[in-house]
């Protein structure tokens, strides 16, 4: 990742830190989750056999699309996140054959990486306010350096259900929304009506802004230092509808930078901390829209690394 991208991201980090410090703790106002005071999986409780069967009925064309992007050492990421990959040949460096009764050769991969790079799932232990996280959990009680003892992404069951795309770029009449473009609730409600999108309990709702298609390859520094995104009132609107996850084709869902007087990444707080709703970042839904589809079966089975806060993912759209 370039120095420029790192520097721009550092400004975002500073703003986030200041925003969290300035916010009230809310611990005294915390109320147990609708799924009980001991719940650790939040909206994943909305995955039911009936909803899975209904989602399967959306498969009409027999097509599958990956929603994850390809990542590597050059993929812009929230600083200091990054990826380093090495391909090695343990015990037979350079491809020297191993005698297994035949001349066997093999490669292994060795990686040092952050799980919050590229397309990712934000778990419920990722984001809090004033030290308090989902279901009134205090940071000091569940987040040792060796891994979360509660709300790790390894606990999240397969997220399977109906997904809908709200195309905010199309609503604005452009190929992509510019970085820093704030998406207010009024625009979302208009787009829902115009595009005949029905949001149901347990849905996965994904916003299309065109940002990744327009900028990830052509202007990666810009892609990773700013983005169009939703405002907190949109998150509250979706939480009231009891959705399972909210995502976008951007790296952080919220608008960056925040509008003047606004709270940076506060939609994260509304969804993750207040409502136990998962966030899906960098969901590449443009190709799905290109096929004339804005409703599909969503299937995600993330890697189950114990205690992880986030996870690199590649959900599949089936339609």
Radius of gyration of the chain (CA): 20
Cis peptide before 63 (omega within 30 of 0): no
- Decide: 173 and 214 in contact? Cβ < 8 Å: no
How do the pLDDT tens digits run along the chain, 319 residues long? 333 344 344 444 434 443 443 344 444 578 899 999 999 999 999 999 999 999 999 999 999 999 999 999 999 999 999 999 999 998 888 878 999 999 999 999 999 999 999 999 999 999 999 999 999 999 999 999 999 999 999 999 999 999 999 999 999 999 999 999 999 999 999 999 999 999 999 999 999 999 999 999 999 999 999 999 999 999 999 999 999 999 999 999 999 999 999 999 999 999 999 999 999 999 999 999 999 999 999 999 999 999 999 999 999 999 9
Give pLDDT, residue 10: 40
Q: Where in the chain is the domain with CATH 3.50.30.50?
A: 3-81+116-318
| Beta pairing, strands 83-88 & 108-113 | antiparallel
Predicted local confidence at residue 278, as pLDDT: 98
Q: Give me the pLDDT at residue 259, please.
A: 96
Per-residue model confidence (pLDDT) at position 28: 54
Q: Are 64 and 317 in contact (CB under 8 A)?
A: yes
In this structure, are residues 309 and 148 in contact, taking their beta carbons and an 8 Å threshold?
Answer: yes
Give the per-residue pLDDT at 95.
75
3-81+116-318 CATH: 3.50.30.50
The CA angle 82-314-89, to the nearest 5 degrees, is 60
């Amino acid at each position: 990742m370039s120095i420029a991208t790192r520097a721009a991201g550092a400004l975002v980090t500073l703003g986030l830190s200041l925003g969290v410090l300035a916010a009230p703790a809310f611990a005294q106002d915390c109320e147990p989750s609708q799924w009980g005071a001991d719940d650790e999986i939040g909206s994943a409780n909305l995955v039911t056999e009936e909803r899975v069967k209904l989602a399967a009925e959306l498969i009409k064309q027999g097509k599958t699309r990956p929603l994850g992007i390809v990542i590597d050492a050059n993929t812009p990421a929230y600083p200091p996140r990054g990826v380093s990959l090495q391909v090695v040949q343990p015990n037979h460096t350079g491809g020297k054959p191993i005698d297994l009764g035949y001349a066997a050769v093999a490669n292994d991969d060795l990686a040092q990486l952050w799980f919050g790079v590229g397309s990712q799932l934000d778990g419920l232990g990722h984001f809090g306010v004033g030290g308090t996280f989902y279901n009134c959990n205090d940071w000091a009680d569940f987040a040792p350096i060796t891994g979360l003892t509660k709300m790790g992404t390894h606990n999240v069951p397969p997220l399977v259900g109906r997904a809908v795309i709200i195309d905010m770029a199309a609503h604005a009449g452009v190929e992509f929304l510019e970085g820093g473009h704030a998406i207010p609730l009024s625009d979302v409600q208009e787009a829902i009506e115009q595009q005949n999108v029905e949001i149901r309990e347990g849905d996965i709702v994904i916003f299309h802004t065109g940002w990744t298609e327009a900028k990830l390859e052509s202007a990666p520094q810009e892609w990773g230092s700013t983005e169009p995104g939703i405002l907190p009132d949109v998150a509250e609107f979706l939480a009231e509808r009891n959705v399972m996850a909210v995502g976008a084709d951007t790296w952080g869902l919220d608008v960056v930078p925040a509008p003047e007087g606004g709270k940076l990444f506060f939609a994260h707080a509304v969804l993750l901390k207040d409502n136990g709703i998962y966030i899906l970042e960098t969901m590449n839904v443009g190709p799905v829209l290109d096929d004339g589809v804005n409703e599909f079966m969503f299937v995600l089975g993330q890697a189950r690394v114990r205690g992880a806060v986030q996870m690199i993912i590649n959900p599949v759209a089936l339609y």
